[in-house]
Amino acid sequence: QLQLVESGGGWVQPGGSLRLSCAVSGSTLDHYHICWFRQAPGTEREGVSCITLRTGDTLYAGPVKGRFRITADNAGASIGLQMILLKPEASGVYYCAATEKQLPSWELFSGDQYDYWGQGTQVTVSS
C-alpha cells in the first residue's frame, strides 16, 4: 500500500515562489506515474504536473509551463514541485497522487485513474 504525504504549502505574494514536496512510501515505485493536482474552492480538480518514474518523462498543464518544475529524488521517494512566478489563480489545495497503471500522456491528468492520494497542502497566492 502506497502512502503519500504532501508538505510545503503556504501563503505567498503574486510573483513569489514555493516548493511542494510529496513523501512517498510503502511500495516499490519504479512503475508509477506520480502527479500533482490542484483544487480551488468551487472548481473541479485539475492536473498540474506529472512525472513517470521509470522514464523520467514529465507533463505540465499549459498555464504552468515554464514556471513549474516537477522532480523525483531518491528513486521516487520524494516528488517535488518547484513553483515560481506564482499567480493568484494558482491558489488551491495541491494533492499528490500515484498510479501503477501505464497511462498514455492524454490520460495522465485524469484523476479517476489514480489509486493513491495524499491529504493535500494549501497554497494561497494573494497580496
For 68-108, how does the pLDDT look when each residue is reduced to its tens digit (9 = 90+)?
A: 999 998 777 899 999 999 999 999 999 999 999 999 999 99
Cell for 20?
Answer: 511542494
Instruction: Extract the C-alpha cell encoding 47.
Output: 492536473
What confidence tens digit (pLDDT) does each residue in 29-79 have? Answer: 666 899 999 999 899 999 999 999 988 999 999 999 999 999 998 777 899
Name the more confident of 50 and 28.
Answer: 50
Cβ proximity of 68 and 100 under 8 Å: no
Separation between Cα atoms, residue 113 and residue 100, nearest integer Å: 9
Paired sense of beta strands 68-73 and 78-83, if any: antiparallel
